[in-house]
Chain A
Amino acid sequence: MTPLQIIFIIVAVITLFAAIKVVSSRNLVHAALWLILVLFGIAVFFVILSAGFFAAAQVVIYIGAIAILMIFTIMLTRRVARDSGAQHNSNWWAAAVLSLLLFTGLSWILSRWQGFQSTAQPMLESADPLRQLGEGLVAPGGYLIPFEVASILLVAALIGAITVAWERK
């Protein structure tokens, strides 16, 4: 096993554990803090895949902005910070069986693929992914339209959020 694989396994275990804690902890503030750990674990995966820009973006946007915003939101609505109801209903075993089936099924079909055993190719020294990303976002032959559509989506979401949150007298 290479050192990278060992790091991957350790980080994966921590991330999965934190992800379970996000949905199982009763205190919303704790859940948000566990979520930060999950997001940090994913940033480490990006580093392992030598996607440095994504790792930085993950930390700045998801941890720095979104998770902090969530914690603020929870603290400003203190009344609902603690969940008092039951955490699962009588159908939990059906969901567990279904998830287990889905997991084994997906693992099985993935194991049938020839690329399942092969190791990742290291990235070329000369490659400049950040430059390619930047060009891809504005080149007419690249991802120009998805990029512009994303801004329409954000404007619509912004207007929608104001509509929902605005208190009418």
Chain B
Amino acid sequence: MISGTFNPSMILSILPEISILVLGFLVLFFDLFLSKEHHDKLGWITAGGLGVIIIGCLLVIRPNESVLQTFAFGGMIRYDWMGFTFKMLFLFSAAITAMFAMGMEKIGKRGEFYLLMLASTIGMCLMASAADLIMLYLAIETTSIPLYILAGFITQDEKSTEAGFKYLLFGAMTSAILLYGFSLLYGFTGTTQIYKISNIIQSGGIPTELSFGVLILVIVGFAFKISAVPLHFWAPDVYEGAPTPVAGFLSTASKAAGFSVLLRVLLIAFPEILPYWSAFLVAISTLTMTIGNLLALTQKNIKRMLAYSSIAHAGYALIGLGSITYDSFFGMSSVVFYLIAYVITNLAAFGVVAAFGRVSGSDDIAAYAGLSRRSPALALAMLVAFLSLAGMPPFGGFVVKFIVFAAAVQANLIWLAVVGVLNSIIGLYYYLTVLKVVYLYRSEDEEKPLPIPRSYSLALGVLVTGILLIGIVMAPWLNLSIKSVVSLF
């Protein structure tokens, strides 16, 4: 019989989700009652509200020494540093995305856009802290379904509609495979609690090939979310067609959410077969980096190029997952650290593309010629974001790449670190090609001004500061990552 009493302190463990929900309905309310010319304020309400929620959560529910990690609501939710770190990351990227969205003509003035984005953020927050397969599945769907609509939000645009539909079809297929894996897992173990599965697999005499086979079905669902090869086909088409702020949100927050569940499920439910899945992930990581980088080389459209680059970055983060060993937290911490820097950097990259695309109406790399003369500040933000993506010091991307490769070396996977370095060199080439167009090429449009709205300047300023902060002072971020990983167990 299901028991359990309600304890008001349980509310604290889902405070971020509840606050986002309240904010979402506030946005919907203002959407109805605000006059038409004030509708561009909706983005500020969303971004400001998310900012208030972040500050409130940091003050009120930061996990402290006395309650490090607890289960809430009958083991559906686990309240720990891991979940908290990722939740703050999702809230941050949603706030930045709202600021980018409000400058876009076709999406920025519509309350539904912000509401759907907030609903998806609720799903991501629950993904990061779910400790039960049923909870996890619902969280994944709550994340995905609003994202399908957001990708196809501009219904008059054929490319956007195609993006939404493609994303829906791929998402539905992989989610069915994931659900099949979950149901088999429940069938063998008789429990949906992630923290109890491992014990039952051990004591119940479930053969290794069975648990590994089921795990592969589960990984298929997560690999779609992080767009790892061979489930990466959707990413370039969806990123190209979706509104640019949505593409940025997809490639950062949604991907980080996928990694957060991957970490929790792999480490907590399947520690016995760690050598098998880490070898499997090493293979996927090698393929993902290499294919992502090689295909990015030939792209003419900057959003497609960033899509392949974000596939490659999933590969780099997977190096950290593949380097996990029984006796060290280094591999896992490197993944968390990598994601923090990657989310901030890639948001900046997509922000620049959105700022340029909304004025020029083009996403061709060739159209970026002369950008450094039209808007030196935007070109500088692009320089910082792209060099950080390429892994150049003193930016965040350098530090985290270094840490991930170090984790591979520590796990005796020196060849994997070498593959990663070679891939970074390929990456450097195509990032620099774009920067060459921006800084060295001339164009006839040079005299045309490139107005940048206030929300873009603010968001890009915050992101560039973040990239520099991670690159220069790394200790607090690394400590945060280690603390998150330790709290997982």
List the interface of chain A (C-beta within 8 A of B). 105-106, 109-110, 112-115, 132, 135-136, 139-146, 149-150, 152-153, 155-157, 159-164, 168
Contacts and interface: CB of A to CB of B under 8 A. Distances in A.
Contact of A140 (B5, B21, B138, B188): B5
B367 interface: no
B122 A110 contact: no
B253 to A, nearest CB: 16
Contacts of A142: 2, 4, 74
The main secondary structure of chain A at its interface with chain B is: helix
Contacts of B476: none
Interface in B169-227: 188, 205-207, 209-210, 213-214
Contacts of A141: 2-5, 73-74
B2 A146 contact: no
B139 A113 contact: no
Given A132-B2, A152-B142, A163-B116, 19 more contacts: A109-B207, A109-B213, A109-B214, A135-B1, A140-B73, A142-B74, A143-B74, A143-B134, A145-B135, A146-B76, A146-B138, A149-B135, A149-B138, A152-B21, A153-B123, A156-B115, A156-B142, A162-B112, A163-B112
Given A139-B3, A140-B74, A145-B135, A159 B116 contact: yes
A142 B7 CA distance: 13
Contacts of B5: 140-141
B10 interface: yes
Interface in B362-409: none
A31 B206 CA distance: 40
Nearest to B14: A145
Interface string B123-141: 1001000001011001101
B116 A160 contact: yes
Interface stretch (B146-154, B242-250, B436-444): B146-154
B145 A110 contact: no
Across the A-B interface, the 9 shortest Cβ-Cβ residue pairs: A141-B4, A141-B74, A160-B149, A156-B119, A109-B213, A142-B2, A140-B6, A153-B142, A145-B76
B76 A143 contact: yes
Contact of A113 (B3, B4, B76, B210): B210
Contact of B116 (A110, A135, A156): A156
B155 interface: yes
Interface residues of B, number: 47
B158 to A, nearest CB: 14
B149 A163 contact: yes
Given A140-B10, A145-B14, A153 B138 contact: yes
B324 interface: no
A149 to B, nearest CB: 5
A115 B156 CA distance: 54
A153 B149 CA distance: 13
The main secondary structure of chain B at its interface with chain A is: helix
A136 B2 contact: yes
A106 B210 CA distance: 9
B238 interface: no
Given A141-B5, A142-B4, A149 B112 contact: no
A141 B10 CA distance: 11
A65 B74 CA distance: 33
B199 to A, nearest CB: 17
A113 B206 contact: yes
B77 interface: yes
A112 B138 contact: no
Nearest to B213: A109
A145 B73 contact: yes
Contacts of A153: 119, 123, 138, 141-142, 145
B2 A110 contact: no
Nearest to B7: A140
B30 to A, nearest CB: 15
A17 B14 CA distance: 46
A67 B292 CA distance: 41
A157 B1 CA distance: 33
A112 B149 contact: no
A132 B1 CA distance: 7
Interface in B154-174: 155-156, 164
Nearest to A133: B2
Interface string B10-50: 10001000000100000000000000000000000000000
A39 B205 CA distance: 35
A99 to B, nearest CB: 12
Nearest to A155: B119
B246 to A, nearest CB: 13
Contacts of A132: 1-2
Contacts of A155: 119
Contact of B119 (A106, A146, A152): A152
B135 A156 contact: no
Nearest to B153: A163
A161 B164 CA distance: 12
Among A105, A114, A159, A161, chain B packs the most CB atoms within 10 A around the CB of A159
Given A145-B135, A160-B116, A112 B2 contact: no
